[in-house]
Amino acid sequence: MASSLPPGVDVDTLNAAFERFRRIVGNDWVFTDEKLSSYRDPYTLTNDPTEYQPSGAVAPASVDEVQEIVKVANEFGVPLWPVSRGNNFAYGGSAPVMSGTVVLDMNRMNRILEVNEEFGYALVEPGVSYFDLYDYIQARGLKLWLDVPDPGFGSVMGNALDHGIGYTPYGDHFGMQCGMEVCLPSGELVRTGMGALEGNNTWQLFKYGYGPYVDGIFSQSNFGIVTKMGIWLMPEPAGYRPYMISFEREEDIEQVAEILRPLKVGMVIQNAATIRSLIIDAAVHETKSRYYSGTGPVPTSVYKDIMADQQIGMWNFCGALYGPPPVTDALWSVIREAFSRIPGAKFYFPEDRTREHDILLHRAETMKGIPKLTEFNFLNWNGGGGHVGFSPVSPITGKDAINQYNLVNNLVREYGFDYMGLMAVGWRDMHHVTVVVYDKNNPDEIRRMDEVFNILVDEAAKAGYGEYRTHIRYMDRIAQTYGWNNGSLWRMHETIKDALDPNGIIAPGKSGIWPSRYRG
């Protein structure tokens, strides 16, 4: 018996599909009704309980089983929502955009197929987590480092496919991807790049192969189900020196970004560094009740107390130096001199920190690729646990940094939330990752959160900022902001979607891409 039905599919048809799924994966690996709780969005952004509800979940253990499931889905017209580990929690977890969609849970496909120390890469299945890959490397004493996002229980593949970021020099995860195996919506398998050449030995070494480079169309998309992926790993460097520079005033972000740009573009700053704001850093190790007992956002008059208590600033630039000491010493002298121009800047290495539970000591592990779950602590700031990510992209300029900060800070505070943002520095851009933390059991907070998020999207778009990634609830809305030339890019996506997936069975609505079957 199904919990909710996909549009156009009756209950008998759905149950018949589930029966076929059971024949493929076994009774224990098809989930319906009360066993679906872990496939729902734990941080829901709606008070409507009928939204984003899967009708079931099926968990294959092999590529063959994925192919069989896809064929059955085509036969019965049952849509599938593929997830690798389903732990993308600021963006919806395992929950589908369209209620009634069946979650294709690839947690059990957790083989590490190869780790190559000489060339620095791994070939993994979707269910391999950062913890899994880290343990594998440590157990064998391989001289390789991972690049990890903040949630260590996430999927190596899933994070890269969703354009996730980390904090070492390999922080652009999709940029470090090399070679895929994809189950197309027809059930046919393809291998991309050099993987298409029989007997090749370069699938994880050269991205482009021959002909069009297609890997990108399988990221943040619904054009196929990636079943294997190569990811480059960083050789263990000859030295490692994490550091933090704190800045006292809100307006310092403008000068920080201006100083940062030439250092990053010129590769003096080696890693995917972050400029973290006061409250997000404070919330990693304490809760709001330690500093403020009122409702709503923390008054700015309390900021100095928090800074003093946690030995942090209004902005905290966390970076790291990688390489032999003569190299890192030289880089550090340039970085220190540049940021010393900002009055009140304070410079720290881990040995300078005095708190046992400290932001730099924590980030120092993350910036060397140790998977953790520490960042989840900030969800406890108000005690309510809910969070969503609003993540517009901007150039690395002082003007954009202060504009983005003012835009988001003013709006979230007006709606009763604290500003908890960070600016993650890419090769040429900044991802302004703002986490809005709310009480997931408070309908009024959910309503306010939803309202302010929609305003943020619109205001950011008016200023020329687009989000790089979003929660399932806002996928259509964000897609609409990418509307140049009357939405030609999304029309192209729809054309590809209809060609590859004529029955519209893979992830309807993912990234705002709908198959013809569900388009109005």
Partner 1 sequence: MKRRELIQACAMAALFPEGLIAGNSVFAANTGTSRYSRFFFDERFVDPATQLSNVVNDVLLVPVRSDVTAVWTGMLSRAARQQSLALQGLTTESFVFCLQRLLHGSHAVEVSMQRVSQDLYGWSLVADHKNINRRVA
Q: Outline where DSSP puts E strands in 99-187.
A: 102-105, 112-116, 121-124, 144-145, 177-183
**Residue of 20, 448, 469, 473 marked active site:** 469
Other C-beta atoms within 10 Å of 265: how many? 12
Q: What is the three-class DSSP state of 165?
A: strand
Choice between 21 and 468, CB closer to partner 1: 21
Count the residues in the chain: 520
Choice between 136 and 482, CB closer to partner 1: 136
Q: Which of 427, 424, 434, 172 is nearest to 317 (CA)?
A: 424
Find the largest Cα–Cα distance for the chain: 70
Residue 62 DSSP one-character state = S
Q: Measured in Å, how far apart are the chain's first and last C-alpha atoms?
A: 29
Name the site residues for partner 1 (rule: CB under 8 A). 28, 35, 38, 42, 61, 85, 87, 107-108, 110-114, 127, 131-132, 136, 152-153, 285-287, 289-290, 309, 357, 372-374, 376-377, 379-380, 382-385, 441
How many Å apart are CA 212 and CA 195, to the nearest integer? 14
Choice between 6 and 149, CB closer to partner 1: 149
Shortest Cβ 378–partner 1 spacing (Å)? 8
Strand order in the sheet with 56-58: 30-31, 56-58, 102-105, 80-83
Shortest Cβ 126–partner 1 spacing (Å)? 12
Catalytic residue flag (residue 469): yes
Choice between 218 and 378, CB closer to partner 1: 378
Shortest Cβ 312–partner 1 spacing (Å)? 16
**Residue of 43, 121, 415, 468 marked active site:** 468
Q: Outline where DSSP puts E strands in 89-173.
A: 102-105, 112-116, 121-124, 144-145
Torsion angle of the four alpha carbons 121, 154, 35, 62, in this order, in degrees rounded to the nearest 10: -10
Q: Which of 186, 192, 217 is nearest to 204 (CA)?
A: 192
Shortest Cβ 124–partner 1 spacing (Å)? 10
Backbone angles phi, psi at 126, to 5 degrees: -65, -30
Choice between 152 and 169, CB closer to partner 1: 152
**Residue of 91, 121, 130, 419 marked active site:** 91
DSSP for 178-217, please give it.
EEEEEE-TTS-EEE-GGGGSTT-S-TTT-S--SS---GGG
Choice between 144 and 461, CB closer to partner 1: 144
**Close Cβ partners of 349 (under 8 Å, ≥ 6 residues apart):** 241, 242, 243
Catalytic residue flag (residue 39): no
Shortest Cβ 24–partner 1 spacing (Å)? 17
Shortest Cβ 213–partner 1 spacing (Å)? 28
Shortest Cβ 34–partner 1 spacing (Å)? 10
Catalytic residue flag (residue 292): no
- Give catalytic residues, as residue numbers: 91, 468-469
